[in-house]
Each structure stands twice: as structure tokens, then as C-alpha cells.
Amino acid sequence: MVGLKWWQMPLISYRSWLVVRRNLMVFKKTWLTNIGFNFIEPLLYLTALGLGLGAYVKEIQGLPYIQWIAPGLIASSAMWATAIETTYDSFMRMKYQRIYHAIAATPISLEEVVVGEMLFGTFKSLLYGSVFLLVIFIAGLVPAATALLVPLVLVISGLIFAELGITWTGLVPKTDHFSYFFTLIITPMFLFGGIFFPLEGMPAVVQAVAWLTPLYHSVQLIRSLVLGQYSWLLFGHAAWLATFAVIFFRIPLFLVRKKLVQ
Amino acid sequence: MNWAVVAEKLFKRYQALEAVKGISFRIGSHECYGFLGPNGAGKTTTLKMIYGFSPLTAGKLLVLGMDVTAELRSIKARIGVVPQEDNLDPELTVLENLLMFSSYFGISKEEALGRAPRLLQFVEIEDRANTPVEELSGGLKRRLTIARALVNQPEVLLLDEPTTGLDPQARRLIWDRLLHLKQEGVTIILTTHYMEEAHRLCDRIAMMDLGEILAEGPPDQLVSLHAGREVLELGGAAKQREAIEKTLEGLYSHSLVVGESLFLYSNNGKELWYRLQQANGMISHQLLRPTNLEDVFLKLTGRGLD
């Protein structure tokens, strides 16, 4: 692993799972205090916008407003959970608790530690997205059985947001710099990712930029699966996400090594 | 001789800084070997290269007969590391820390549960097994870190400044435990800037400064070779010091001025002391004491260890 060029893929083994296990064990101790924020927020958006704004916006694309935005909030809930996990929490483990250093002194390589961190970030996406799916299912907002495929989308989009989060974590020296990540990347995706309004009405530039962001594609996929609106375009969104996840995979591994190992 | 570590012409460069400048050394199996030197000497960098966290800029480094650049994973399975800064899992308990760390080595849970009580007993924290680590004192954390470094029953234990920041009592306990491990045949490699620690624990010492090894050997041998048996420390105005230095000429092997004090080294301190009383000038303080590693460092660099 030492001395690899940035384009060379280091050997990643099952040992990354041991890192996920470690994070799960700590998560088991703290989940009650952590879980609230991530669930309450999408619920607030759903009720405030779905019911409040929904009283004026009667229908979007032939659907009640609350039903139209609910699936998109699955995608954003998952994104926020992963983004926070792989920035603030990962940074804490890496810089202050020095957990990465501790594990890298065992037969587990630093790259395997980083992959473990990304997989745990992916797990957060799967967990928070799935629970929100359950919530809107109970609320009667899930008409199609294909909603069962949503977790698959949560896994692949979760991996992408974990890659982005760890990349930022590998780049910045201080936690203060995470606010840029959220202000410049996460929040714009959240607002312009097609969760609250269809992008068709926006200027072509906004549509083009949205197309370049992963959240847009995961929103499109999840909404279609939840509402049962199928088209061949869905394969395009899935392929976009898969391609992004693969291309970006190596970057966080490289950046974290560069940051920690001198 | 079976070598635990063989290093040849090790270089380490960080951007503009040359932290380690082509050092060579060999550490035998079952030996306790210490890198002694002030901050910035290159001790920690050398240790990090041995446990594979810091890649070499140049040179050759074998640990347990394996090349660190090629077989790092196999090396890491057979060594234990106690880093300078604690990196325990703060949210997990003492016992959970050991179990989790064991899992990184592929040790089964049953096996780890079997080993943990003995390890906790060894560092005397068995009564804290279920305490979350964030509630432990600095000394207890360091002891747990040592226990954690032993979960894989390592052949080589590496410790970076193992007692820095600890109170004297905690320090003594750690020395005692390390001596015990040494008797059990574990190769111990440590860095320190405490000469007493180096003297007490190490079979051999590499005295380092500015990325180079200045002297290497058993502590007693280094002291007698470079500093003689005794040293007479004298305080006083510069003029008086110079006068005494002249009067006693021939009775000491070498002299040093450190701050406001004059150090006269000799194998016959009593003679020196006797002649000083006869000459007696305006001296603010005088002390005859056995030489130690600090004197060796003083002689080789002209500076103290701290």
C-alpha cells in the first residue's frame, strides 16, 4: 500500500468489515441520542411543506403535494445522515480520537480503514432512508410495491455521499471547514435536487447542474419506485450513480493517506 | 544473533526537513533497545518507520526478517505498538477495547475473551474492565494501551515515549511491567527523552540528535566511555570558573560549561574534590556526582536532553 501511485488501486480485503463492526458497536451505544435529529428533520419538512405549502399547491404532476415530496425526502434524509457521519464523525475519529492510526497499526491497512468508514456511511444512508420510507409507508404515502427496491438505491447513493464526505474530510484541516461542504454542496443539492418542485420549470442551466449531482438521480429513482412510475430512464439514473460511485472510489483513499502519512 | 530489526542507511525526508539522516542499527531478539534523544532527534520517525506507518525515503529496513516495504501486513501481525498519543476507543469500555482490537488481528472472540483477563491483570486494571475509557486517568489509559498492544502476543513491542506525561508512580509501574515483558522474551524497542528510563530499561541505547545516531551501546558502557566515572559541578562567576579550570588542569579528562555551571569529568572524583578544597575560590555551589547518560549527551552535543 505504501508507495502506490494515486491511480493504482490498493488491495482491499474483508478486513474493512472489522472497521464497520467497530463503528456499529459504538453506534449501538449512542444511536438513541443520534437518531432523533436525522428523523425529525425530514418529518418537519414533510409536515411543514407537505401540509402547509400543500394547502396552496394542490397537485404536482397529478399527485397531492405531500405525496410528491415524500419519496424525495427519503433520498435527502439518507444523504444528510451519510454526509454528517463521514465529515464531522469521521473527522473526530481520524483527528481527535486517532482511531485510524490505532487500527492501521494492526494487520488492517489505512485504505481498508477508509473503505470501512465509507461502508459505515453507506449503512447510515440505508438505515435512515429505510426508516423514513417506513414512516411514509405508515402514513399511506407509498402506493407501489417497487418501493421495496429503494434500499438498493440508498446503498449506491449512500456510497457516493460517503465518498464525497470522506474526500472533504481528507482535504480540510479543521472541522470549521465542514460548513463549506454543507453550504456549497449538500444544501444546494437538497434544494435543487428535485425534491420540492419539478426542475422542468427551472432555467436550463439549473437543470443541467442538477443533472450533474448525485442527489438528483437518487431522488428520481426513489420517487419512481415509490410511486410506481416506470420508464427506461430509470436505468439511466442507476447507471449514472453506479458510474459516479466507481470513478470516485479511489479519491478518498488517496487523500486520507496523503493527510495522515508523511 | 537473531535480529528483530535490521536497519541500513535509513533516510526520512519531510518536504524540506531531513528528519532521519542515513542511520544504521541492529536490534537483537529479546533485547530492550532504546532511542534516547531530545525532541526533534528523529526517534519517533524512526519508530514509525519500523512499525510501517511512515514510509522510508531511502534505505533498507527488515523487521523480523521481513522487508517493511513489501510485507507490512505480516509484520504488523507480529508486533505491538504503543503510540505517543493515546488512541484508545473512548466510547468503549476497557474490556471492549481489548476485544475490538483483538478482532483486528483476526483473533476469535472466545480466544480474545480468554486472553483479556490476564492482560488486564498484567497491567493491574482488572477492576476497571467495564469502565468506559473516557473515564480513565492518563496513567490507566497508558496501561490499557500497553495491554492492547499485547493482544496478539507480539514478538516485538514498540513504545513511543511510554511514560511521558505520567506521574512518578505511574511511570514506575510501567517500567516494572516492561521489565517483566523483557524477562518473558519480548523484544522491546522504545523512544524516550528520560535518561533514567533509558538507563533502567535498555540493554542498549542509540543516542540520537538531529536525525543521527551519535553513540550506541549499553548504557553503562556509554557513560564510562564518554563521560568517565564522576563529574564535579561548579557554580561561580566566569572568572572564578576559569581560574579553577586552570588550577585543576590535568586532573580531569574534559570540561564543559553549561549555562552558569562548569562540569569537570574524571575517573578520580575524590582527588578532584580534595584539590578543589585546597584551591578554594569564590564558588557558589559544588557537587560531586556519578556521571550519567545526560553527561554523555552533553559531551556529544554541548546541549542538555530537555
Separation in Å, CA of A107 to nearest CA in chain B: 5
Chain A residue numbers touching B88 (CB-CB < 8 A): 102
> Residues A132, A73: contact at Cβ < 8 Å?
yes
Cα B305 to Cα A89, B36, B292, B301, distances in angstroms: 39, 9, 12, 9
Report the pLDDT value the prediction gives residue B239, as an integer from 0 to 100. Answer: 81
Report the pLDDT value the prediction gives residue B256, as an integer from 0 to 100. Answer: 87
Assembly ipTM:
0.90
Chain A residue numbers touching B156 (CB-CB < 8 A): none
Report the pLDDT value the prediction gives residue A6, as an integer from 0 to 100. Answer: 58
Separation of alpha carbons B81 and B177, rounded Å: 15
Mutation for testing the B interface, residue in A2, A13, A24, A94 having most B CBs under 10 Å: A2
The helix/strand/coil state of A203 is coil
pLDDT band (50, 70, 90) for residue B270: confident
Per the CB < 8 Å rule, is A105 touching B89? no
Separation of alpha carbons A211 and A236, rounded Å: 11
Q: Does B76 touch chain A (CB under 8 A)?
A: yes
Report the pLDDT value the prediction gives residue B241, as an integer from 0 to 100. Answer: 82
If you average pLDDT over every residue of chain A, what do you get? 92
User: In this complex, how many residue pairs, one in chain A and one in chain B, have their CB atoms less than 8 Å apart?
Assistant: 69
Q: What is the pLDDT of residues B157-210, one digit of tens each?
A: 999 999 998 899 999 999 999 999 999 999 999 999 999 999 999 999 999 999
In percent, the amount of chain A with pLDDT more than 70 equals 96
- The minimal CB distance from B55 to the residues A3, A22, A30 is found for A3
- The minimal CB distance from A105 to the residues B55, B76, B106 is found for B76
What residue in A sits closest to B77 (Cα-Cα)?
A107
Q: What is the pLDDT of residues B91-114, one digit of tens each?
A: 999 999 999 999 999 999 999 999
Q: What is the pLDDT of residues A207-243, one digit of tens each?
A: 999 999 999 999 999 999 999 999 999 999 999 999 9
Radius of gyration of chain A (CA): 19
Separation of alpha carbons B216 and B196, rounded Å: 16
For residue B234, count other CB atoms closer than 10 A to its CB. Answer: 24
Q: Is the pLDDT of residue B68 over 90?
A: yes
The helix/strand/coil state of B278 is helix
Average pLDDT of the segment spanning A10-20: 92
How much is the pTM?
Answer: 0.92
In percent, the amount of chain B with pLDDT more than 90 equals 71
Report the pLDDT value the prediction gives residue A85, as an integer from 0 to 100. Answer: 95
pLDDT band (50, 70, 90) for residue A1: very low
Greater model confidence, B147 or B273: B147
Average pLDDT of the segment spanning A76-81: 95
Angle A119-A123-A126 from CA coordinates, rounded to 5°: 135
Report the pLDDT value the prediction gives residue B87, as an integer from 0 to 100. Answer: 95
pLDDT band (50, 70, 90) for residue A4: low
Report the pLDDT value the prediction gives residue A11, as an integer from 0 to 100. Answer: 82
Report the pLDDT value the prediction gives residue B119, as an integer from 0 to 100. Answer: 96
pLDDT band (50, 70, 90) for residue B4: very high
Q: Is the pLDDT of residue A145 over 70?
A: yes
Residue A91 corresponds to which cell in the numbers above?
Answer: 473527522
Report the pLDDT value the prediction gives residue A3, as an integer from 0 to 100. Answer: 54
The helix/strand/coil state of A69 is helix
Separation in Å, CA of B264 to nearest CA in chain A: 43
Q: Is the pLDDT of residue B283 over 80?
A: no
Q: What is the pLDDT of residues A52-61, one digit of tens each?
A: 998 898 889 8
Q: What is the DSSP string of A135-202?
A: HHHHTT----GGGGGHHHHHHHHHHHHHHHHHHHHHH-SSGGGHHHHIIIIIHHHHHHSSSSS-GGGS
Per the CB < 8 Å rule, is A29 touching B77? no
Q: Does B14 touch chain A (CB under 8 A)?
A: yes
Separation of alpha carbons A133 and A71, rounded Å: 7
Q: Does A223 touch chain B (CB under 8 A)?
A: no
> Residues B180, B119: contact at Cβ < 8 Å?
no
Chain A residue numbers touching B152 (CB-CB < 8 A): 106
Per the CB < 8 Å rule, is B106 touching A107? yes
Report the pLDDT value the prediction gives residue A33, as an integer from 0 to 100. Answer: 75
Q: Which of B55, B13, B10, B14 is nearest to B35 (CA)?
A: B10
Q: What is the pLDDT of residues B209-257, one digit of tens each?
A: 999 999 999 999 999 998 889 998 888 788 888 888 888 888 888 888 8
Report the pLDDT value the prediction gives residue A5, as an integer from 0 to 100. Answer: 63
Per the CB < 8 Å rule, is B103 touching A18? yes
Separation of alpha carbons A8 and A29, rounded Å: 37
pLDDT band (50, 70, 90) for residue B306: low
**Close Cβ partners of A258 (under 8 Å, ≥ 6 residues apart):** A170
The helix/strand/coil state of A91 is helix
- The minimal CB distance from B76 to the residues A3, A107, A261 is found for A107
Helix/strand/coil percentages in chain B, nearest 5: 40, 30, 30
Chain B residue numbers touching A101 (CB-CB < 8 A): 53, 83, 87
